Amino acid sequence: MNDQQSLPDEPVYSRKVLEMLTVANEFCLFLEKAEEYSKADLLRFLQKILPLIYLKAALLPEVVTEDEDATEHYVTEEQWEELFNILRNKFGKEDAFQYLDLHEKSHNDPVEGSMAEHFADIYQDLKDFVLLYQKPLKAFKENAVRDCRYLFETRFGYRLVTVHAALHYLMFSQTLEDENF
């Protein structure tokens, strides 16, 4: 039986996975052109897409992988740094924000975060998911979904929530029409 014949019964080809793939791809493509957008447009887009990413990632099915080694990472340290620097320059003084890091032992004390760092981290996880899923073999798709779900639960989900809170505060405590904020 080929992959096309097994489509309806395979979680890796489910609507939930394809919707996550679509949202993740939109997020990545937009950030790859972040330099072309105004700060206000960038913030407006991120404000709207982050809840979609969270929802779609939370709905990803559990996938059993047949080949644990059919996985790859694509985003290089240089690509991460380039995106981070573009976003940090775009956000300017609003890049820094305070949040509680619940992974730390002293999670009652706020720590300083960087919106650019959070978005670059989320981008890295989602871009790896998108590119791995596009590989032709089903084993790669299985690992892409499994890894994305795991990284949502352990890493980018919490980063997404904390940066979204900072983004919400920034957007509604200042006027987006003022490009100098």
- Domain ranges for the chain, please list them: 7-173
d(C-alpha 178, C-alpha 181), whole Å: 6
CB atoms within 10 A of CB 143: 25
Q: pTM for this one?
A: 0.89
For 93-113, what is the mean pLDDT? Answer: 83
Q: What percent of the chain clears pLDDT 90, i.e. is strictly above it? A: 77
**Tens-digit pLDDT profile for residues 127-180:** 999 999 999 999 999 999 999 999 999 999 999 999 999 999 988 886 554 555
CA proximity to 122, closest of 77, 155, 85, 94: 155
Domain 7-173: which CATH class? mainly alpha
Question: C-alpha distances in angstroms, 138 versus 29, 87, 111, 157, 180?
Answer: 24, 34, 41, 25, 48
Confidence of residue 3 (pLDDT cuts 50, 70, 90): very low
pLDDT greater than 60 at residue 1: no
CA proximity to 146, closest of 55, 56, 54, 68: 68
Residue 173 identity (one-letter amino acid): S
CA proximity to 84, closest of 140, 34, 133, 49: 34
